[in-house]
Structure 1
């Protein structure tokens, strides 16, 4: 009798364990199914990030450059493919049907008038923005940027315009393309370099520059060319705020100013190597006024006199 009761108890225990195991497996399957459903519903959702970049080292550039499509674009623009400076051309896919290019086009043997004489400054490089059809290369919208045009032998040179890897959503439905271009002085004495950041959108088949040439990096200073120098540097980070103005998120800009002064170690001049470093932090909020993120350019030095 005792053996029968004991056996029944064992069977009941095993049956209960089996039920718990079945229940746990069912719950696990339900959780996995729920996760798959959530993942499926998020497939078509746009990537939405608040931080555009924390600092310049944090920026990821787009590595897309569809050369076959670029060839079609050149044909549709009626320009020679050989007149496109490939190493200064960038692109990114804007959506399933549209791509965006920043082209650098070479205009050879162009003269620039200075005073009463014409001076040969070498080839002229023009910067052009383009939205194109990804299949045919047909032009949807185009615009030259005169501010980024330069001659080969001019003192101020412009780099390739680097497009950010990810689109920036200024609200839930407005994607923007961000890119930056560096200007620098070709001099060992004058220490000048500046990176300017632009945000643009495609609206009703028109290019709209909602933020234009905002300085995200700036150096000013001078050097004797052999180790003694003083230089002030501005470096920024940009993120999207929680508040909106006229439908678009405010932009929060963090500014880091630094100052460095160095004196060359010289036995002849009885000078010892000396370095000084100062740092100052500021911030700024940029609001969309219905047309653009307006800002006042601030060229005040925080340390240099």
Structure 2
């Protein structure tokens, strides 16, 4: 009887402390969580992955909240990084546009000097705008009336333009034919569409005899009578409307400054 009493008295002196083990584990986990949250703002990816792996091994479950961490390095601002990239791209575009402007001004000067030195001011003209450099050639400088064959004496003009273009092979070039509004219906040409298209193609054929040019950069189109630059009510106006245009298209165009050239309104 005395032994049993002594045993109970001994148990009263040492209460059950089994709850301390899960409590200590919980405190450890909470401490680890706070450490991770605190350090996430500055930890690099490699160290974070190492910490994640260490926790996995410790918890021995193979999975966890740290399995696929998404970490942003300290000091990184995604929006600022995107803005910096956009600004750099804009600077690059501006630099390329500036170089393009210089190229087209140089080509225009070459053509203008050729026109002046060969007394062709009444037959050729150049215009540089926000969309293109356009070389305009009157039909009488190239073709006989109602014909699409380039006159033999005019082939030198086409060859000269071809030579000047060979230094600008990265540009898209459009050769377009235009007529006045006088109807045409011959065995060769059923309409002004036919005549203007054929003239553009025949002139382009001579340009592309230069092997230094890239045919894939060229296209030919006929507009017939539908894009006049002057009135068709006078002979002088109709003469201006009968023309071939060689357009060297810009690659870097500012949409806020681009002129609307879709209609070539009559003046």
Specify which structure has the higher proportion of strand: 1
TM over 0.5: no
Greater RCO (Cα-Cα under 8 Å, separation 6 or more): 2
Pair member with larger Rg: 2
Specify which structure has the higher proportion of helix: 2
Question: TM-score, normalization: structure 1?
Answer: 0.27
Question: TM-score, normalization: structure 2?
Answer: 0.30
